[in-house]
A and B are shown apart, each in its own frame.
Chain A
Amino acid sequence: MKLIHISKTFFPGSSKEVKALTDINLTFEKGEFTTLSGESGSGKTTLLNIIGGLERPTEGKIFFDGLELTALSDEQMADFRLHHMGFIFQAYNLISVLTVRENIGFIMKLLDYREDEINNRINELASVLQIENILDNLPGQISGGQQQRVAVARAVASKPKLILADEPTANLDSKNSQRLMEMLRALNEKEQVTVIFASHDKYVLAESKRTIVLDDGAVIEDR
């Protein structure tokens, strides 16, 4: 995936103008496990949103396997997300009326997977993420760490090409953060899925192969 000259300005031309991102150029390879790091307000979330197509850049283009994402309509982008991207947010990821099992299978269902395929996949992920015993609980009945693991399971369930995660460990204690990262890492290796994080959590940084540091909307380090 390629990001070319990406810039984002909120309220351009007005007195409230904010330059969130300026001229970002990045390339992500298949199977990468990358962390976007930087202080609060440095532009991590904005960049993730633009990659995920939730927000449009003011300038620049994004290519994914040769397809120009920035040229897609909102609807085409939504469809693209459904088929090729997984999301994990900071908190409240789950659909409250669905059980853990249904939450994990939700996207697969939208994609018309067969029932047995979905069940196999859920069981497989549940054992990796150690959530077998809560599969029939509702999100309100499990802890925050478990909720985030379920969110991971849902994000990877349909085997997307890219997973975007915005501070998935922000609301977790250190032990839970560490476990979540280990599991994500394992999935990344096993399924060769590209993962991009936004985080300044040390456990996340420790697990990642590549760290991109942002400051005031610009890349200041890439290692």
Chain B
Amino acid sequence: MYKIAGQLAWKSLMRRKTRTWMVITMIAMSLSGLLLLQGIYDGMVSHMINTAIRSDSGEISLYASKYRLEKNLDYRIGNLEDIKKYLDKQNMIDAYVIRLAQEGLAATAHKSLGAILKGISLEDERRFGNFDTFLSQGEYSFGDKDREALVGFKLAEKLKATLGSRLIFTAQDANGEINAIAFRIKGIVKTGGLAIDEGSIFISMEKMAEFLSLSGAATQIALRIKNESKIKNVQNALQREFESIDVLRWDELYPLLIQMREMMDVFNMVSYMIVFTIAALGIFGVILVSILERVREFSIMLAIGTPYQNIRHQIVTEAFIMSLFGYVLGAFSGGILLLYTASSGIDFRYFEAGLESFGLNAVLYADIRGYYFLQAFGAVFFATLLSVLWPLRVLKKIKPIEAIQGKML
């Protein structure tokens, strides 16, 4: 019996091709648009998270407790050798870097600005997060005798400094004395992360130790753990091993990114809801009209004994055939758009500076996740269900007797 309903549904749709195509195209186009939107938004957030992890926090960062609050060298990690020994033994940890940072005043001949000076190892940073890929100008090097530095691009811009410019950095050393150090700019980095781009200067660890009169110490140790499911375990193990140190995951260090991700999810949900409520209206219109113009036909079918369920089944099938085609077409074209955007990106050059302030590049790359398509299917399914509710009520009111009454003819 359902087979007959299905055949009738299919034939009715074919009979009204234009209408059917309009609905299918509507669903397909809104779906691929939404999929792309979702992919880009997720891609943006992933990019920001990825940048933060690669250029700063790793999956896990260690700080002396209180350091993040006070930003003071009194709260530094002292037992560096113990920690290094421990970290080297862990095979969950793919790489780690040791950084020593101090806030101070960066000045050129023209201008002075607040900045953070960080002592790092270029080689370690490269292994840790391909830090060299963030270099936008100059060389990924501290020059011979470590006399040169890498500077965040926004900071350089504000200081009106370029490659080769001389910078003076003034800060308090480990003994509480105010010291100054001078160096030239060897390279300019652009990570998309505000903290680095707007306020960080990188010099070699050795120079930094000398400047602060402090060796064998760090303010931060960042770890890479590629196996996502193991991050929590490693964190707990580290915390147990080194009780006096804050062991923090990237999502604890950048709660804003997680919030952003959640906000994007909500935003996507709302978009889906709005779009598919409107789309449901379109499906509804077509289904309702197709019932109204076939009242006579349906009443004759009822009169000759066709079960009501059969006709209801026909209507529901019509709606779902259109939706299914729309979904398949939309998921397919949306998938292609996503694949393209994931590999080649979309260029929003006009909005570049604005995107930068969010820590993004002008070219946005999309994420693709399997659940997009599941979610999209759910949305199409519910929109279709919603759209047939009222038409089915109309159908229910059709009486077989109407076939024979003159008013119908």
| B is a partner of A | yes
Give A contacts to B, CB under 8 Å.
Answer: 45, 48-49, 52, 54-55, 75, 78-83, 85-87, 89-93, 95-98, 106-107, 109-110, 112, 154-155, 166
Q: From residue A169, how far is it (CB to closest CB) to chain B in Å?
A: 15
B302-319 CB mask vs A (1 if < 8 Å, else 0) is: 111111101000000000
Q: From residue A151, how far is it (CB to closest CB) to chain B in Å?
A: 9
* Nearest CB in chain A to that of B302: its residue: A78
Instruction: Note all chain B residues with C-beta closer than 8 A to A85.
Output: 304-305
Of B303, B399, B409, most A-chain CB atoms within 10 Å:
B303
Q: From residue B167, how far is it (CB to closest CB) to chain A in Å?
A: 80
Let me know if A54 and B400 touch, CB within 8 A: yes
Of B4, B14, B404, most A-chain CB atoms within 10 Å:
B404
CA distance A52 to B301 in the complex (A): 14
Let me know if B305 and A79 touch, CB within 8 A: yes
Let me know if A92 and B300 touch, CB within 8 A: yes
Give B contacts to A, CB under 8 Å.
Answer: 1, 4, 8, 11-12, 14-15, 294, 296-297, 300-308, 310, 399-401, 403-404, 409
Cβ-defined partner of A97 (8 Å) among B11, B307, B308: B11
Q: From residue A155, how far is it (CB to closest CB) to chain B in Å?
A: 8
Let me know if B403 and A89 touch, CB within 8 A: yes
CA distance A48 to B400 in the complex (A): 13
Given A97-B11, A110-B1: A49 and B304 interface contact (C-beta under 8 Å): no
Given A55-B401, A166-B404: A87 and B303 interface contact (C-beta under 8 Å): yes
Let me know if B305 and A45 touch, CB within 8 A: no
Let me know if A95 and B297 touch, CB within 8 A: yes
Cβ-defined partner of B4 (8 Å) among A49, A54, A78, A110: A110
CA distance A96 to B300 in the complex (A): 11
CA distance A32 to B209 in the complex (A): 115
CA distance A103 to B301 in the complex (A): 11
* Nearest CB in chain B to that of A77: its residue: B305
Cβ-defined partner of A54 (8 Å) among B11, B306, B404: B404
CA distance A82 to B308 in the complex (A): 12
Instruction: Note all chain B residues with C-beta closer than 8 A to A154.
Output: 304
Cβ-defined partner of B306 (8 Å) among A91, A93, A110: A110
Let me know if B12 and A97 touch, CB within 8 A: yes
Let me know if A107 and B305 touch, CB within 8 A: yes
Let me know if B409 and A91 touch, CB within 8 A: yes
Q: From residue B213, how far is it (CB to closest CB) to chain A in Å?
A: 90
* Nearest CB in chain B to that of A198: its residue: B404
Given A97-B12, A97-B15: A87 and B401 interface contact (C-beta under 8 Å): no
Of A52, A82, A110, most B-chain CB atoms within 10 Å:
A110
- Give 17 A-B pairs besides A96-B294, A97-B11, A112-B1 with Cβ atoms closer than 8 angstroms: A52-B303, A54-B303, A54-B400, A54-B401, A81-B303, A81-B305, A82-B304, A82-B305, A85-B304, A89-B300, A89-B404, A90-B404, A90-B409, A92-B300, A97-B12, A107-B305, A110-B1
* Nearest CB in chain A to that of B400: its residue: A54
Instruction: Note all chain A residues with C-beta closer than 8 A to B4.
Output: 106, 109-110
Task: Give 11 CB contacts A-B under 8 Å.
Answer: A45-B404, A52-B303, A81-B303, A83-B305, A85-B305, A96-B294, A97-B12, A97-B15, A106-B4, A107-B304, A154-B304
Cβ-defined partner of A92 (8 Å) among B14, B15, B409: B409
CA distance A98 to B8 in the complex (A): 8
* Nearest CB in chain A to that of B5: its residue: A110
Instruction: Note all chain A residues with C-beta closer than 8 A to B307.
Output: 75, 78-79, 82, 110
CA distance A187 to B284 in the complex (A): 45
CA distance A86 to B12 in the complex (A): 24
CA distance A209 to B16 in the complex (A): 46
Let me know if B297 and A81 touch, CB within 8 A: no
Q: From residue A81, how far is it (CB to closest CB) to chain B in Å?
A: 4
